[in-house]
A and B are shown apart, each in its own frame.
Chain A
Amino acid sequence: MNTDKRYNRQIILPEIGTEGQEKLANAKVLVIGAGGLGASILPYLAAAGIGEIGIVDHDVIEISNLHRQVIYKTAAVGKSKAEEAKGMVLELNPEIKVTAFAEKLSAKNAISLFEKYDIIVDATDNISIKYLINDACLVTNKPMVYGSIFRFQGQVSIFNYQNGPTYRCLYPDEKVNALNCEEAGVIGITVGIIGMLQANEVLKMILQIGKVLNGKVLVYNILNNEQQKYDFEKSSEFEISKEDFEKKYNSSENQNAEIKFELIWNEISSDEVLFLDVRNNDESPKISLKNQIQIPLMNLEREIEKLDKNQVIYVFCQSGIRSKIAVELLQRLQFKNVKGIEGGALAMKKLLKDDKIKV
């Protein structure tokens, strides 16, 4: 049979055999994020014959993605990542079932999506979504295969596997300030290696071979090739029920802390409000409004006395990720009227350039 031929070189491994291949064919894996990690994970899962793969990503391909998201062609710039990734892996292996979800993962769709799959792979690029994935995995009782990178370093782990420790057991403090690839920089190889380690954990889990990173986080540094494993334990305080989940996310998602620049542009010279740029000094495009100050996110807590807790503050960064962290930080410090500007300086500059707004 063609199927046997296709997978022959892995079937002849004593650890896999036809029985193992059947396990792969019966497995359903959901990959969240079709960026750098996803581009590394997806082809390997598909080629190995994972029976059903789901791909969640609401983004479109940008030219600045291509150096690391190597499954996309230059001609696909502007197209949906989930759809393009689906097309690519089906060309690679038409014998599997692939579903593209070109939507943003949220508390509203996470549970119903996760219920359709056996293993959830976190290939996302921001921390708050990792907590959401973790919590939805706890509610649906699915294992989470975690990977993330910072510049030339990466981390891989497995959470909630056979009732094991979770993301919150490793990182209990949810109010985290960490840079993603757009902000910190990255080369394709780092996400490639970490993504492949994640794909490897998925296969091991399905085949029940080797030891998966349950209760261990692997930290990999590609500059010096050092890798270490750190053990962590389950803490019962981070259990989460379906009720807890709904309570937590319904309240936080309703708390709309983002605003479109169009809606506030008439306030750009008002003394009543303050625009807060949390980017570093050397970032462009430069935005200079009269009622604006700059405090890089890293310094925000230290320079907090520059801000008035009762003032209306609109926070922006480059694209809206750091501003979200800044808004959360300020809200935690009892600032009452803080909102982040959706799309950050890039969105603002576009409007300013379109000459809709005179500064």
Chain B
Amino acid sequence: MNTTCSPRTNNNTAATSGVTESLRKPLYNVNGNAEAYEVRVELPGVPKSGVKLDLEENILTIRGERSTNVPEGMKALHRELSPLSYLLRLRLNTPVNEDQMTAKLEDGVLTLRLPLKEVAKPRQIPVL
């Protein structure tokens, strides 16, 4: 099971009245087996302190704040990297064990492991 989604070009612009916060959807990948889901999200430029995770009801929200690592007195000659921060919202259609969720940020990739609740695991039903 492997789903690659989210085009880089689709910028998610969350515009609210007055304040305009521009965010974009990161590239992500979801893998799963009978035990857990693994979500890998590409968040280049985001330090550990810039990642915010939130699971409310069945919506998993991942925010990644890019560090503005352009020091004072530096002039941009060519720009391709987007300075926008990331926002990804995923609706989980399977109950997961929140307490055992783990997250790891390494080389700009966030890896989340969402263990399935017992009820959601596949079971073998013996034939009597």
State whether these chains interact.
no
